[in-house]
Amino acid sequence: MKLAEALAKRADVQTRMVKLQPRTSNMMQVQEGEKPEEDPKELLAEYDRLLAEMTTLVMRINRTNVATKFDDEHTIADAIALRDAAKKEHNFYQQMADAASARQNRYSASEIKYVPTYSVTKLRKKADEAAKRYRELDTKIQGLNWNTDLLD
């Protein structure tokens, strides 16, 4: 199995686990004399099976990410950390640029005027650079995921 396939399978298992929670919760009590629409024992067993499957997938994915070279200096795990940092950096500088450029409606010259304390252009440039780094890292990671065999 390729790493990308394992990642897709993990996402599917996570989605199924999330959907199973309210179904199971709704079957934990019924009116006296009634039967639940679904057997809670079966739902609990299904959750346990999905949890075990996800745990195994995550362990194998993590082992693969740590063992696989991304470039001469980094593993895929390192690249994921760098990509996540670039996303956080982009979001932060984008929010700061938005805050610095927020418009205030003034109805007369006597109202208080607010001015930016830092260059909006510089903030947007930092946000754009981080977004570019994120896209480049993500593209290369995705490509490697389809060419990397999942480790046991």
Q: Would you list the DSSP string of 9-76? A: HHHHHHHHHHHHHHHHHHTS---TT---SS-HHHHHHHHHHHHHHHHHHHHHHHHHHHHSBSSSS-BH
Q: Positive or negative CA dihedral for 143, 140, 17, 45?
A: positive
Domains in the chain: boundaries = 1-67, 69-103+110-147
Report pLDDT digits (tens) over 42-80: 999 999 999 999 999 999 999 999 999 999 999 999 999
Positive or negative, the Cα torsion across 36, 39, 41, 43? negative
- In the predicted model, what is the mean pLDDT of the chain? 95
pLDDT interval class at 29 (50, 70, 90):
very high
Task: List the CATH code of the domain at 1-67.
Answer: 1.10.287
Note whether 13 and 49 are within 8 A (CB). Answer: no
